[in-house]
Structure 1
Amino acid sequence: MQLEDAMKIKYGTMSGLCALLLAVQVGSAGAQDAAPQTLFTNVHVFDGVNEARIENANVLIEGNLIQTISTDPIETDGATVIDGGGRTLMPGLIDTHTHLSIVTAPLAAILSSDPSYITVRSVRDAEEMLMRGVTTVRDMGGNIFGLKRAIDENVVPGPRVYPAGRFITQTSGHFDFRRPNDTNRTFSGIQPKLDRLEYAFMVDGVPQLLSATRENLRLGASQIKIAAGGGYASPADPLLSNQYTFEEMKAVADAASDFGTYVTAHVYHPEAVNRAIDAGIKDVGHGQLLDRATLERMAAEGVHLSTQPFTVCSEPQLDAFSNAKLAEVCAGTARVYQMSKEIPDLVVTWGTDLFNVSADDAAGQVKQLERLLEWFEPVEILKQATGNATSLFAMSGDMNPYPEGPIGRIEAGAYADMLLVDGNPLEDLGAVTDSDNIRIIMKDGVIYKDTL
């Protein structure tokens, strides 16, 4: 054999071996990169939108997204198969008004404790919220970015978080919780305690508001939250006060729009809400004292109503002044829900606004859905707590922290945030509000509870 021929054989063989090894490596990598699949069979699907379930369906999840929903068998290779046993598969619940960093932390503890203590409490509250079946929250003010990051990185369990960042309030407005002997920063140079702890921005005038808005956006706010009117829990402001001028609110709305997102407002009454809408605000975070004309305007202009069933008219952690304001809000709850039911184009979402409450009150979060039965059928309530929030989250646009698919619905391409529950929640809300009936909790394609 000539040397030249031997070399051809040698290098030809080596070349073939290299090609074979490369093919094996690529195939192995492909197998490793393939997203895990989960197949739910024999389930009735409430998709978050329609008032009838998809009967006898199968749902395939690949990775963290829903791939296929079919009443025909779905063929898979290597999927984890879960026989739903004729139960209902539905979207995870969405609370569109939370303060996850202060759910069970008393205000006195926030103002006086080591911040790490409050953080530990919020970690526990986040996990308990997820284990109640709440897979997504819109956080409406607080020191939230660190907790959100830890949840998203799977350091701790908790719901998805759409964060507003620090609450933006005017001097003497809602979330100005200074004591009478605390000074104003403008005159003393002393920053308010809640500002120092990164729960709030107490700011006045367009320049300060722009700085606060842009700082929240820099840190990853998916929406901006401002106080446009009085609050029942705040110690200094009348409930029907108008807060922030048109020019101030317009500056905030324009700055948020420049980043592709929107502004939501803490506000109850018509005058303040209409001023806010004039300024470009797209979501009303309470609205219990609204009139029909304002609600109809909101429906016509695509402004969401993200309200709460305030039917408990006195709270032990509040003083007499605040409880008197709460009673007024409470009286308006029935009126606004009844009117909203009669305006079909108005998008209404469910929230709880739990803050500074006891652990027992926090545990009743999902149970609050039952308060709505006075005005709505179970399917209408569940739509408020699932599919109605999809368009709200879409308004976050460029600042949406979860842009891969819709949230709040069971449809192809949506995030795999789902509950498997005993019974039919469209007929009996207890299928969801009794946590024992929630057999599987899945968020982002990962199962956090399984009692099948």
Structure 2
Amino acid sequence: MKLDPRATAVTNVRILDPEAETVSAPTTLRFNGDRIASVGAAPAPGEEVFDAEGRIAAPGLIDCHVHVLANSPDLGSLGDESPAYLTACAINTMQGALRRGFTALRDAGGADFGLARAADEGLFVSPRLFFGGKSLSQTGGHADMRGPGNALVDNHQCCPHIGLVCDGVDEVRRGARQQFRTGADHLKLMLSGGVASPTDRVDSTQFSDSEILAAVEEAEAANRYVLGHAYTARAINRGLRLGVRSIEHGNLLDEETVRLFLEHDAFLVPTLVTYQRLKADGARLGLPAASQAKVDDVLYAGLEALRLADRGGVNIAYGSDLLGEMWEYQSQEFEIRAQAQSAGAVLRGATTTAARLLQAEGDLGILAEGAYADLVLLNANPLEDVTVLARPEESIHSVFSRGALVED
């Protein structure tokens, strides 16, 4: 995969606006480096152009919940892998996402400053990567991947575990400051149990109020924010009241949760496709038996939770949370969400709403002067049928990243 920067203008292109839910008449997009220089101005004499032939340009898609280093659903095994090997796997994973039109990814645990720097410097072709470093977990929490008989934990920054085990306010502060010291864009807390961890219940709550508040305070001090892994209403509502800005998964939320999302202008990031794939492929791909038994606890409630949040006007961003070989189904989340949301709402979740969550308004999620030149040329109009995005091999004609055509 490489970038071809020769064309600095895309002509005869119709621009999709996710907020207005409109598609423009044919026009011209001109680039200046990795930014959009103008919309509508004619190309300069002799300027290299790419003729879109009337196709629709959508803003580059954003996936707000990924784990690019997780090459297996057996997350406990990642700490035994070579960081160099997992980095190579991550490059393949990120480039696969770019082929599917995802020009920005928010990693929700595992990716570090080195991988983000390499992507930003163009050492390999990839989406933009927003990283959080290691997730913070209490002992026995969702990112504590030790089995019940293993007393050893390796919290070294370069060990490729997805989490850092912290107990008590001082350790949580230290863990948060360590991630922000490396330049992390956000901080993830495990607020409840989960599927892929061996020793916690999905319906458990994790961390004390004072520990959560400490993490939120550190994030605010760094002008960053906290995202919280949570399934049950009890865990979600507690996190929202304490200042967590983004709730990941949220399959078992309730009416009170919706009220709290609105009160705090917080974001929900459902990840429905991952439960379908864990159910179908988890055992074959190494998901431990204890985790397989927990999939049903969250699988069937997720779609109704999405409907409830959508009806209530919650900020909902796109997430997939796929692991290992399951990444090929990243775009299937569009098809699932179409069962509960309008086409425009689904699109905003992967563009404008996602950009607000990433604190990248005006840069990502739109095609306008001054925004990043990340776009997807489509053969079909997703405002008429958003499920076309679930079939990227048919619907995507070309992808532009950082103002250059992606060539595979």
Q: Compute the TM-score of the two structures, normalised by the length of structure 1.
A: 0.82
Identity within the alignment, %:
29
Find the counterpart in structure 2 of residue 84 from structure 1: 52
Deviations 1:76-128 (A, max 9, x none): 24432222111110111111000111145754652433332222111221222
CA contact (8 A) 2:378 2:397 kept: yes
Matches within 5 A, 1:366-381: 366-381=331-346
Match for 1:301: what amino acid? H
Q: Call closer, same or farther: CA 1:297–1:41 in 2, change over 3 Å.
A: same
Amino acid at match of 1:428: D
C-alpha distance 37-78 of structure 1, shift in aligned 2 (>3 A): farther
Q: Tell me, yes or no, if structure 1 residue 442 matches structure 2 residue 400.
A: yes
Aligned position for 1:42: 12
- Higher relative contact order, structure no. (Cα contacts within 8 Å, ≥ 6 residues apart): 2
Give, in angstroms, the shift of residue 214 of structure 1: 0.4
Q: Which amino acid aligns with 2:310?
A: K
Residue matched to 2:296: 327
Runs of 5+ consecutive residues of structure 1 not aligned to the other structure: 1-34, 185-189, 395-401
How far the C-alpha of 1:74 sits from its partner, in A, is 2.4
Contact 2:75/2:145 (CA < 8 Å) preserved in 1?
no
1:385 equivalent among 350, 361, 383:
350
SS in structure 2 of the partner of residue 413 of structure 1: coil
Question: Do the aligned residues in 1 keep the contact of 2:251 with 2:298 (CA within 8 Å)?
Answer: yes
**What is the SS of the residue equivalent to 1:55?**
coil
User: What is the DSSP-based 3-state SS (H/G/I as helix, E as strand, rest coil) of the residue aligned with 1:154?
Assistant: coil
Instruction: Report the counterpart of residue 4 of structure 1 in structure 2.
Output: none
1:258-292 CA-to-partner distances (Å, cap 9, x unmatched) read 01111010011121122212221111111110002
Which residue of 2 is the match for residue 228 of structure 1? 191
3-state SS, counterpart of residue 411 of structure 1: coil
| Corresponding residue of 2:69 | 101
Distance 1:192 1:390 in 2: 31
- Code of the residue aligned with 1:289 in structure 2: it is L
Distance in 2 of aligned mates of 1:107 and 1:301: 32
5+ unaligned residues in a row in structure 2: which ranges? none
Q: Distance in 2 between matches of 1:243 and 1:255?
A: 18
Aligned-partner Cα distance in 1 for 2:108–2:74: 17
**Residues 140 and 163 of structure 1 are in contact (CA less than 8 Å); yes or no, is this contact kept in structure 2?**
yes
Deviates more, 1:172-181 or 1:206-215: 172-181
Q: Which has the larger radius of gyration?
A: 1
CA offset digits 1:351-381 (Å, max 9, x no partner)? 00112x32xx211211331111211233322
The TM-score with structure 2 as length reference comes to 0.91
RMSD: 2.3
Match of 1:183 among 138, 151, 174: 151
Distance 1:417 1:197 in 2: 30
The alignment partner of 1:158 has SS state of coil
Which residue is 1:9 aligned to?
none
> Residues 201 and 387 from structure 1, CA distance in 2 versus in 1: closer, same or farther, beyond 3 angstroms?
same
The superposition leaves residues 304-359 of structure 1 with CA deviations (integer Å, 9 ceiling, x where unpaired) of: 11111245162323344323322121121121111122122x1100100112x32x
Specify the alignment match of 2:327 in structure 1. 362
Question: Structure 1's 449 and 48: CA in aligned 2 closer, same or farther, altered over 3 A?
Answer: farther
Work out which of the residue numbers 28, 35, 42 in structure 2 matches 1:58.
28
Shift of 1:48: 3.0
Contact 1:431 1:438 survives alignment (8 Å):
no
2:257 to 294, 316, 321: 294
Task: Please point out which of 304, 311, 320 is paired with 1:342.
Answer: 311
Partner of 1:151: 119
Work out whether 1:271 is the aligned partner of 2:228: no
Q: Tell me the residue number matched to 1:31.
A: none
Closer, same or farther: CA 109–242 of 1 in aligned 2, 3 Å: closer
Q: Distance in 1 between matches of 2:174 and 2:79?
A: 24
- Give the Cα separation in 1 of the matches to 2:302 and 2:226: 23
Aligned residue identity for 1:341: D
Among 219, 225, 242, the residue aligned to 1:262: 225
Match of 2:174 among 203, 211, 216: 211
User: Which moved further from structure 2: 270-279 or 232-241?
Assistant: 270-279
Q: Displacement of 1:218 after TM fit? A: 0.6
Letter in 2 for 1:83: D
2:30 alignment partner AA: L
CA deviation digits over 1:397-422, x for unaligned, max 9? xxxxx79x521111221111101111
SS in 2 for 1:102: coil
Cα distance in 1 for residues equivalent to 2:158 and 2:95: 26
TM-superposed deviation, 1:178: 0.6
Work out the CA distance in 2 between the residues paired with 1:195 and 1:440: 36
The residue that corresponds to 1:420 in the other structure is: 377
CA contact (8 A) 2:94 2:126 kept: yes
Corresponding residue for residue 199 of structure 1? 162
C-alpha distance 108-271 of structure 1, shift in aligned 2 (>3 A): closer
Letter of the 2:402 counterpart: D
Contact 2:351 2:366 in 1 (8 A): yes
CA distance in 1, matches of 2:226, 2:379: 38
Structure 1 residue 167: Cα displacement: 1.2
Q: What's the counterpart of residue 267 of structure 2? A: 304
